[in-house]
Amino acid sequence: MKKLFRRLICAGLICLTLPTICTATPLAPAKEKQLTQELTAMVGDTGTQVPGLGVIIYKDGKKAYSKFLGRRSINPDRPITADTRFRIASVSKQFTVFSIMQLVEQKRLDLDKDVSQYLGFQLRNPNYPNTPITLRMLLSHTSSLRDGKLYAIPPQYSIQEFFTPQGKFWEDGAHFAPAGQTPAQYFQYSNINYGIAGTILEAVTKTRFDRYQKEHILKDLDIKGDYVVGNLSPKSFSNLGTIYQKNNNGIWDEKGPWYAQIDEYKKGQPAHDLVRIQNPDHRDTDAWYSVSDYKVGTNATPFSPQGSLYISYNELSHCLEFLLHEGKYKGKQVLSPESLATMFTPHWRYDAKLSNGNTYGGSMECYGLGESFIIGDSTSRACRDKVINLEGHMGEAYGLLSGIFRIPNTKNGFIYISNGEAIAEDDDPRSSGKFSGNYIWEENTIDAICRAAF
Q: Are strands 372-374 and 390-397 parallel, antiparallel or unpaired?
A: antiparallel
Question: Could you tell me the sign of the dihedral formed by the alpha carbons of 5, 93, 379, 438, in that order?
Answer: positive
pLDDT level of residue 9 (50, 70, 90 thresholds): very low
Rg of the chain (C-alpha set):
20
pLDDT level of residue 426 (50, 70, 90 thresholds): very high
pLDDT level of residue 25 (50, 70, 90 thresholds): low
**Nearest partner of 310 among 240, 220, 238, judged by Cα:** 240
Residue 356's alpha-carbon distances to 102, 144, 347, in angstroms, are 30, 12, 12
Note whether 113 and 135 are within 8 A (CB).
Answer: yes
Residue 4, pLDDT score: 40
Sorted by sequence, the CB contacts under 8 Å of residue 251 that are 6+ apart come out as: none
Q: Which residues are paired to 367 by β-bridges?
A: 348, 372
pLDDT level of residue 26 (50, 70, 90 thresholds): confident
Note whether 320 and 56 are within 8 A (CB).
Answer: yes
pLDDT level of residue 2 (50, 70, 90 thresholds): very low
**Domains assigned to the chain:** 3-92+228-294+308-453 (3.40.710), 102-215 (3.40.710.10)
Q: Which residue has the higher pLDDT, 21 or 87?
A: 87
Residue 6, pLDDT score: 42
pLDDT at 17 exceeding the cut of 50: no
Q: Are strands 413-421 and 243-245 parallel, antiparallel or unpaired?
A: parallel
Residue 7, pLDDT score: 37
Q: What is the pLDDT of residues 378-391, one digit of tens each?
A: 999 999 999 999 99
Q: Are strands 274-277 and 247-248 parallel, antiparallel or unpaired?
A: unpaired
In angstroms, the CA 264 to CA 49 distance is 20
Q: What would the mean pLDDT of 284-298 be, rounded to a whole number?
A: 95
Residue 281, pLDDT score: 86
In angstroms, the CA 186 to CA 104 distance is 24
The whole-model pTM stands at 0.94
Note whether 289 and 279 are within 8 A (CB).
Answer: no
Q: What would the mean pLDDT of 220-225 be, rounded to a whole number?
A: 98
Q: What is the pLDDT of residues 324-353, one digit of tens each?
A: 999 999 999 999 999 999 999 999 999 999
Sorted by sequence, the CB contacts under 8 Å of residue 275 that are 6+ apart come out as: 155, 228, 288, 289, 290, 291, 302, 303
pLDDT level of residue 37 (50, 70, 90 thresholds): very high
Residue 18, pLDDT score: 38
Mean of per-residue pLDDT scores for the chain: 94
Sorted by sequence, the CB contacts under 8 Å of residue 43 that are 6+ apart come out as: 49, 50, 51, 52, 53, 69, 70
Note whether 9 and 374 are within 8 A (CB).
Answer: yes
Note whether 68 and 54 are within 8 A (CB).
Answer: yes
Q: What is the pLDDT of residues 40-96, one digit of tens each?
A: 999 999 999 999 999 999 999 999 999 999 999 999 999 999 999 999 999 999 999
Sorted by sequence, the CB contacts under 8 Å of residue 176 that are 6+ apart come out as: 125, 126, 127, 144, 145, 146, 163
Q: What would the mean pLDDT of 177-181 be, rounded to a whole number?
A: 98
Q: What would the mean pLDDT of 110-137 be, rounded to a whole number?
A: 98
